Amino acid sequence: MAIKKKTASAKKNDAKNKYKKVTRKFLEDLARSIYNPSTRKFLRLCNGTLQNGPDPTDEDRPMHCGLGELYFAMTGRQPREDHASESRVVELAFELSPLNGANEISKKKAIAAIDALEIRDYLKVDLIDLIENDFEDSDVEQDFRDAIDAIQVENDNVVRRINECGDEFCTYDDYRKRAMAVALQLREAAKLLPV
């Protein structure tokens, strides 16, 4: 019996299957781990880049910006290990969300519904052509991408608002504000996903 070698795309699919699905609960749990409003515990986030270094007060914990924490939560890997860019993190979050492919499913359902109608065939063909040619990404998909992308904006804006503290000079309150802003943005993205 011959052993089949996996192709590059099969290996990539295996790796993707190990990633966590980005659901509403996943994003809410991540937001709570970054800033928990009940306990007021928070995670110190770095000042706006995906490259991680040690946390200034806990050398065992790598430090990321908000998108880096999201990447680590999705993949279990450090952003630096995979040379992940901010845009790659946003796209991966979408790919792992229930929104990925939802547009195609809606398109197929619409075509099936048109096929089931008792109307003249030429009308069916025209309607199906309209759907196939004009079906674009939904506003929700774009809103989700924008909400994830805004995590880095919120992380960086807090840094600017607190006078460009470098990680070694940030105060307890600086880190808390940064964590609150990033967690809030994660919660906004979570609201766009189905329950």
User: Which whole number is the average pLDDT over 151-172?
Assistant: 71
The verdict on pTM exceeding 0.85 is: no
For 58, list phi and psi in degrees, rounded to 5.
Answer: -150, 95
Taking residue 193's Cβ as centre, other Cβ atoms within 10 Å add up to 19
Residues 101-136 have pLDDT tens digits of: 765 666 777 778 888 888 888 888 888 777 766 555
User: Which whole number is the average pLDDT over 25-43?
Assistant: 95
Q: Is the pLDDT of residue 159 over 60?
A: no
Please answer whether residues 150 and 185 qualify as being in contact, where contact means their C-beta atoms are separated by less than 8 angstroms.
Answer: yes
Q: What is the pLDDT of residue 137?
A: 53
pLDDT band at residue 151 using 50, 70 and 90 as cut-offs = very high
Q: What is the pLDDT of residue 61?
A: 81
Q: Closest Cα to residue 99, out of 63, 145, 53, 168?
A: 145
Whole-angstrom distance, CA of residue 155 vs CA of residue 65 = 7
